[in-house]
């Protein structure tokens, strides 16, 4: 079958952020997502951003327009959050984001009343009902379909870096899991989810789709749920490996890292280079290590099996790509990566809060709501950093 990869401007940015709705007093999730989306539908119809429903009614997803820069995309997200708050604040609903809710139970949640969601649950049963997970998706425009699969294969080397920086699901249904990102291992239980198949070219991707559609595994390309996937409709590569980010500056930082990696790989392809790759079994091991240990993981960074601390390799990568970031006007956003590797990702902050509160996970939810609301906006963060 032939799958058209839409025309797209090179290295443009689009962001999707899945947000939890929780009662400000109890911390329990609230199923007001459809009502929030309906209340905003008319007055946000002409905006660049969107606010939409997700699989569970306790979630809304905010999506940016197409940004020429990370800053432009994040501005859209900030505008969307302000619109959501105009509805949720009077209802006593707090917003927060992490890869999982610290103590909510799947059987207390409701599936959004849409055919595609009911069909997913019917097929996946217990695993589908347990998809109490929240993430971010980063889209980067690619101007040439021939570049898509080589860039995805190269990005797979950096999947643990992105997963470790975003890891924010150390708790699951009231239990301390021992993992920095429990979400990463839960999500891959769905059909067509998990690590990307490291295919050689676009024709191989078309054959993959043809096989799965013919055999009833999925209906179309939108049901490919890889951690890093092509998005043919938008002409982008979409990184879906990350847990939900807990603050806006951290979202911007990870988006900047994805943007500069894709642009760097694109330039290297233009120069006739072969992009770095590692064996699929190394990619799988790296994913597990990042899910388990977060920023304390040691990862495999080349085909020879060289292992280094992920913090160290993130630092080297950011330093190498500083000039690219400056050209893409995201150097300030990318600089936040250094603070994240030094001070820790959301999972480590959540664990510290739980320990200080003698294991009270309500305190963790309050912490996440406070971070989301009262943490610095991107502009405030950049101003305080002297940018």
pLDDT at res. 92: 97
- Tokens (6 digits) for 198: 């490291």
Whole-model pTM: value is 0.96
Check if the beta carbon of residue 117 is closer than 8 Å to that of residue 53: no
| Close Cβ partners of 225 (under 8 Å, ≥ 6 residues apart) | 187, 190, 191, 192, 193, 194, 240
pLDDT-based confidence at residue 374 (cuts at 50, 70, 90): confident
> Could you give the CA distance from residue 158 to residue 243 in angstroms, rounded to a whole number?
15
Indicate the average pLDDT of the chain.
95
Q: What is the pLDDT of residue 378?
A: 47
Q: What distance, in Å, lies between the first and last C-alpha atoms of the chain? A: 49
Convert the pLDDT of each residue in 134-193 to its tens digit: 999 999 999 999 999 999 999 999 999 999 999 999 999 999 999 999 999 999 999 999
CA distances (Å), 184 to each of 165, 244, 346, in order? 13, 11, 15
How does strand 225-226 pair with strand 193-194?
A: parallel
- pLDDT at residue 387 in the model: 43
Convert the pLDDT of each residue in 299-335 to its tens digit: 999 999 999 999 999 999 999 999 999 999 999 999 9
In the predicted model, is pLDDT for residue 97 greater than 50?
yes
Average pLDDT over residues 245-273: 97
Cα–Cα distances in angstroms (integers) from residue 320 to residues 102, 214, 309, 314, in the given order = 37, 44, 17, 10
* pLDDT given for residue 375 in this prediction: 61
Domains in the chain, CATH or no CATH each: 13-384 (3.30.590.20)
């Amino acid at each position: 079958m032939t799958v058209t990869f839409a025309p797209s401007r090179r290295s443009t940015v689009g962001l999707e952020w899945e947000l939890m709705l929780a009662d400000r007093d109890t911390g329990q999730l609230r199923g007001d997502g459809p009502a929030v989306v309906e209340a905003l539908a008319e007055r946000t119809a002409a905006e660049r951003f969107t606010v939409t429903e997700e699989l569970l009614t306790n979630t809304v997803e905010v999506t940016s327009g197409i940004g020429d820069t990370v800053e432009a995309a994040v501005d859209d997200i900030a505008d969307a959050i302000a619109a959501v708050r105009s509805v949720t604040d009077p209802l006593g609903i707090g917003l927060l984001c992490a890869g999982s809710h610290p103590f909510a139970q799947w059987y207390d949640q409701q599936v959004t009343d849409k055919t595609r969601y009911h069909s997913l649950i019917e097929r996946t049963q217990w695993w589908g009902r347990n998809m109490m997970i929240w993430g971010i998706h980063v889209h980067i425009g690619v101007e040439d379909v021939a570049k898509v699969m080589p860039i995805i294969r190269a990005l797979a080397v950096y999947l643990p870096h992105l997963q470790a920086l975003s890891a924010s699901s150390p708790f699951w249904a009231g239990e301390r899991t021992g993992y920095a990102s429990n979400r990463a291992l839960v999500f891959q239980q769905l059909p067509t989810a998990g690590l990307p198949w490291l295919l050689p070219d676009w024709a191989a991707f078309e054959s993959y789709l043809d096989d799965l559609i013919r055999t009833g595994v999925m209906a179309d390309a939108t049901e490919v749920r890889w951690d890093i996937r092509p998005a043919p409709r938008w002409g982008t590569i979409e990184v879906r490996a990350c847990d939900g980010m807990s603050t806006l500056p951290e979202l911007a930082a990870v988006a900047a890292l994805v943007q500069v990696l894709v642009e760097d790989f694109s330039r290297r392809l233009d120069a006739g280079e072969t992009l770095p790759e590692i064996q699929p079994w190394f990619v799988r091991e790296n994913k597990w290590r990042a899910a388990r240990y977060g920023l304390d993981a040691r990862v495999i960074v080349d085909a020879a099996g060289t292992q280094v601390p992920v913090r160290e390799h993130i630092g080297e990568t950011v330093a190498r790509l500083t000039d690219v970031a400056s050209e893409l006007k995201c150097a300030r956003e990318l600089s936040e990566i250094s603070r994240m590797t030094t001070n820790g990702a959301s999972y480590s902050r959540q664990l510290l809060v739980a320990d200080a509160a003698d294991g009270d996970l309500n305190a963790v939810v309050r912490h996440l709501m406070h971070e989301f609301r009262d943490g610095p906006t991107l502009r405030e963060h950049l101003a305080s950093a002297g940018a």
